[in-house]
């Protein structure tokens, strides 16, 4: 299990994440929602150890996140990050070299599903193809936690379906999936828990089914409540 305790991150004078406490449990698919600048990406980066919190702590199975947790937490950044000289094949070899849970067979299968080939140069890929490559290499790991930052951004409907299928395939009782997106309707179909972030704060974490049953509201309705009307909750 992953736990954030009063985590705060500042970049200069700007506070990107402010006092966030959160528990992520295995067997769940979380939809991390919020507009740009709400702190979703920074929180994910801190969980995977790319960014260091100014205060608070993040624990994975009771220990602070670091080298050991990176063996079990897979992160897909929203921006392209592969070296310019790499082909899709090189990206796979790189992951195989560093991550014991990476499966080259699974990677090749996912590339084929996404209609990508190993000889494609990373720097020449369109944004849609890059999104597919990033998801393929991330999901070819047998990780315990997957953090997918805006995996559905800028890609067509068919590719989106592939990615959603890929995410669902990885779901299992001992795996935690966190997917951030602006596409609330898309996420509502796959996630079972919604995390709402706003202006660097955690607004709420709620089960999607419970929300529907108790208040008759969808995730989209709740999203409008939190972020619509100038941000004033009704």
Partner 1 sequence: MSKLMKYEFRKNLLSKLVLLAFTAVGEAAFLLGLFLKWENGLVIGISTLMICGMFGILYVGIESLVTFHRDLNTKQSYMLFLTPRNSFQILGAKVVENGLTIFLTGLFYALLTFLDFTVAAIRIGRIKEFIDVIKNVLENFSVSVTVHSEDILIVFLAILASWIMTLAIGYLAIVLCATVFAGKRLSGLISFVFFLLLSWGVTSLFNVLPDPETMMMQNLLSMGYSFAIALVLYGITGWVMERKLSV
Which DSSP letter does residue 227 get? H
Our CB check for partner 1 shows the closer of 69 and 193 to be 69
Nearest approach, Cβ of residue 64 and partner 1 (Å)? 12
Nearer to partner 1, 66 or 231 (CB): 66
Q: Which is nearer to partner 1, 14 or 157 (CB)?
A: 14
The two tokens of residue 201 are: 């704060």
Q: What minimum distance in Å lies between the beta carbon of 159 and partner 1?
A: 21
CB-CB contact of 44 with 190 (8 Å): no
Q: Rounded CA gap, 86 and 233, in Å?
A: 47
Q: Which is nearer to partner 1, 98 or 117 (CB)?
A: 98
* Residue 212 Cβ vs partner 1, minimum distance, rounded to whole Å: 36
Query: Least distance from C-beta 50 to partner 1, angstroms?
Result: 5
CA distances from 139 to 64, 144, 196 (A): 24, 11, 24
Which residues fall within 8 angstroms of residue 110, CB to CB, at 6 or more apart? 135, 136, 139, 140, 166
CB of 47 to partner 1, least distance (A): 12
116: closest CA among 190, 187, 166, 189?
166
Smaller CB separation from partner 1, 98 or 209: 98
Choice between 77 and 180, CB closer to partner 1: 77
Q: How far is the CB of 79 from partner 1 (least distance, A)?
A: 5
- Which residues, listed in sequence order, are joined to residue 9 by a DSSP beta bridge? 17
Smallest CA-to-CA distance from 114 within 162, 73, 169 is with: 162
Helices (H), 49-87: 67-70
Interface positions with partner 1 (CB under 8 A):
9, 11-13, 45, 48-52, 66-68, 70-71, 75, 77, 79-83, 85, 94, 97-99
Backbone angles phi, psi at 95, to 5 degrees: -65, -40
């Amino acid at each position: 299990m992953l736990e954030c305790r009063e985590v705060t991150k500042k970049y200069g004078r700007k506070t990107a994440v402010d006092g966030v406490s959160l528990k992520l449990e295995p067997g769940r698919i979380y939809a991390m929602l919020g507009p740009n600048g709400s702190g979703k990406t920074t929180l994910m980066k801190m969980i995977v150890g790319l960014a260091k919190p100014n205060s608070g702590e993040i624990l994975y199975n009771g220990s602070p996140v670091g080298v050991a947790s990176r063996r079990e937490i897979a992160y897909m950044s929203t921006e392209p990050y592969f070296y310019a000289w790499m082909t899709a094949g090189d990206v796979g070899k790189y992951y195989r070299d560093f991550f014991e849970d990476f499966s080259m067979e699974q990677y090749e299968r996912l590339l084929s599903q996404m209609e990508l080939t190993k000889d494609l140069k990373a720097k020449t890929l369109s944004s849609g193809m890059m999104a597919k490559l990033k998801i393929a290499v991330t999901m070819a790991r047998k990780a315990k936690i997957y953090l997918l930052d805006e995996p559905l951004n800028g890609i067509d409907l068919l590719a989106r379906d592939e990615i959603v299928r890929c995410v669902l395939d990885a779901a299992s009782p001992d795996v935690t999936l966190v997917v951030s997106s602006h596409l609330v309707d898309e996420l509502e179909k796959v996630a079972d828990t919604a995390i709402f972030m706003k202006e660097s704060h955690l607004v709420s974490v709620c089960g999607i089914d419970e929300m529907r049953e108790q208040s008759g509201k969808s995730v989209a309705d709740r999203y409008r409540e939190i972020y619509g009307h100038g941000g004033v909750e009704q």
